[in-house]
Amino acid sequence: MQEYKLLGQKPTRHGFGHALVTLGERYDNVVVLGGDITGSVMTSFFKEKFPDRFFSIGIAEQNATTIAAGLALSGKIPFFASYGAFCAFRNADQLRISVCYNEANVKIGGGHAGISVGPDGATHQVLEEVSFLRALPHMTLVVPCDYEEARKATIAIGEKVGPAYIRFGRSPVPQFTIEDTPFELGKALVMREGNDVALIACGALVWEAMLAAQELAKRGISARVINSPSIKPFDVQTVVQAAQECGAVVTAEEHQVYGALGGAVAEVLAKNYPVPVEFVGVKDTFGGSGEPEELMVKFGLTWREIYASALVAMERRDKGFLGSVRRATDVAVYEEETIEQQ
Amino acid sequence: MAFDNRRRTPEELAEVAAEIRRDIIKMLVEAGSGHSGGPLGTTDIYAVLYLGGILRHRPEEPNWAGRDRYVLSAGHMAPVLYATLANAGYFSKEELLTLRKYNTRLQGHPGRDTGLPGIETSSGSLGQGISIAVGMAMSDKLLDKSDRRVFSLTGDGELQEGSVWEAVMAASHYKLDNFCWIIDNNDCQIDGRIDEVMSVYPIDAKCESFGFDTITVDGHNFDELYGAFDRFIENHRNGTGKPTAIIAKTYMGKGVSFMHDKFEWHGKPPSAAEAELALKELMASN
């Protein structure tokens, strides 16, 4: 199996922007709608290359979304990108009816997602949209882990007919997949083999899961790391197989713990193969200003929480479902002290 | 028999409109729910558009690539759209009686997923259809460089939805002279008169200031309706770069005396007895 190494740091939004140019070159009917922040969400690359197929709609996300539906119903493949805080919620009704109910071939790029937007603060740190978008019939939903995967995912949703949303971030994040790394909508990817516990992550937390697995290995625990960028359609088989072979699962995402990747895993396992699951994510709270790294620590979105949650999930497995259980936060403090002592 | 998309005399259109209104009453009483007021109030506009030679369309070939497109933004007025489409020959009139029933193609609000011929888009959440129509007009004019036209009808209460103004701002910004916005101004919404609920007046000055060539007409006068649509077609042909707004002054429940201008008839169907009375009046008016 391919070994994944840290290759540098790059923002996922650049992958989105570069892929739009590729799509523009391949398909004459790909068009892009701008929401005044084209330089932030990297639709500016496309705008520069294909000015005749770029339309500025201004600060009007509802209108951009429905205009996109009108373009799609006229045979175009429109992409509209803005901050996820505004192009998944301000336009929620438009996404539900004009895009999804219509089965309009509209693609939304939701940028600056997650807590890692940093200084902009809670208003812009969208942490809830994956849960909402997942619930929409006909929607395809992808949360790529790095630049390269964002690039592939953007091309994939552009080439699939139907409504789709891709979530990407602002800050540079570890780059570890390469051009040859497979990507397919509806498929998760095992990034590291292991049979003691399964760490299932998406977005920026995939790399954190890899780090957690390295640390767990030092204790003789072999963790399987699964990258699940495709939230919908979801790779049920890979998740169930991991539960069967590991018996304990941790999910990790830069999102509220309710209803997104963790929710998808919990639903799938409740139905197919119930095992203990621990959820790493934002715990029902809003974000706040700060540097991305500080915030990831503050809101519990690092390898340490994944590591601690893995120990808790395994403990629950070993003691049976009803056994008394330590909370992951307690384990985190304990383990951190132990790690520092080593 | 092939569809004859010619202009008609006011007398002919009055007959067409009376037939559509009768169908609306029959559909609604059979459905037992639905909107009576708006559909009856806008029937004359539909008669001119679909059966008076304004829309370029082919009922026997609903997806004809050269067709003009009509988007009902005020989706709750679906009964008049369905009745008009059936009268134009898009599907059988028997199917009208399935309105709002289980497994019907005639959903309570238009649903594109049903595959009903002539339905360009789903609509029903106010303020969205017009924006879709603007997207279609952008596609036709700016990308395909075709001479197709796009029409969209909103209610007047619908103007309270902010996204309507986002849509028309864009229509003006992109100089969509192929876009015709029809405003059904019956001054009624579910809770009462527009002014009491939330005033949207003056509508004409708003349309003007948003860059539309604005025409106010009696929405029950066929000559005036023809005049307004002809001006839109001229605007488009001459490439004025201005979209057109037609403010049609109408009466809710037009054609049925006990519904006339009564906002209480916005969202309910007639009872069997009321329907009988309404049909009698609509026979006499023909």
> What percent of chain A shows pLDDT beyond 90?
92
pTM: 0.95
pLDDT of amino acid A335 = 58
Domains plus CATH for chain A? 9-174 (3.40.50.970), 189-341 (3.40.50.920)
- Interval A213-226: pLDDT, tens: 999 999 999 999 99
Inter-chain CB proximity B167 and A63 less than 8 Å: yes
Residues of A within 8 A of B174 (CB-CB) are: 55
Q: Is the pLDDT of residue A342 over 50?
A: no
Q: Is A221 helix (H, G, I), strand (E, B) or coil?
A: coil
Q: Is the pLDDT of residue B282 over 80?
A: yes
pLDDT of amino acid A340 = 54
Give the start-to-end residue ranges of the domains of chain B. Answer: 10-284
pLDDT of amino acid B165 = 98
Sequence-distant (6+) residues with CB within 8 A of A17 are A41, A42, A43, A44, A45, A46
- Interval A59-80: pLDDT, tens: 999 999 999 999 999 999 999 9
Inter-chain CB proximity A97 and B142 less than 8 Å: no
pLDDT of amino acid A320 = 84
Cα–Cα distance list, A62 to A46, A134, B72 (Å): 22, 19, 18
| Chain mean pLDDT for chain B | 97
Identity of the residue numbered A223:
A
Q: Is the pLDDT of residue B132 over 70?
A: yes
- Interval B174-220: pLDDT, tens: 999 999 999 999 999 999 999 999 999 999 999 999 999 999 999 99
Cα–Cα distance list, B14 to B36, B133, B223 (Å): 19, 28, 12
Distance CA A79, CA A87 (A): 11
Mean pLDDT of A316-324: 75
pLDDT of amino acid B19 = 98
Closest CA of chain B from A256, distance in Å: 28
**Domain B10-284 listed as CATH 3.30.360.10:** no
Q: Is the pLDDT of residue A322 over 70?
A: no
- Interval B40-60: pLDDT, tens: 999 999 999 999 999 999 999
H-helix or E-strand spanning residue A203: none
Tokens for A342, please give them: 């080593």
Q: Is the pLDDT of residue B229 over 60?
A: yes
Residues of A within 8 A of B123 (CB-CB) are: 97
pLDDT of amino acid A1 = 78
In this prediction, the answer to ipTM > 0.90 reads yes
**Contact call for residues B67 and B22 (beta carbons, < 8 A):** no
Mean pLDDT of A129-158: 98
> What percent of chain A shows pLDDT beyond 70?
94
Q: Using pLDDT thresholds of 50, 70 and 90, give the confidence band for residue A330.
A: low
Q: Is the pLDDT of residue A54 over 90?
A: yes
pLDDT of amino acid B284 = 80
Q: Which of A87, A97, A100, A106 to mutate to test the interface with B (most CBs of B within 10 A)?
A: A97
Inter-chain CB proximity B112 and A70 less than 8 Å: no
- What residues of chain B have any CB closer than 8 angstroms to a CB in chain A? 111-113, 120-125, 127-128, 131-140, 142-144, 162-163, 166-167, 169-170, 173-174
Q: Using pLDDT thresholds of 50, 70 and 90, give the confidence band for residue A327.
A: low
- Interval A256-299: pLDDT, tens: 999 999 999 999 999 999 999 999 999 999 999 999 999 999 99
Inter-chain CB proximity A68 and B134 less than 8 Å: no
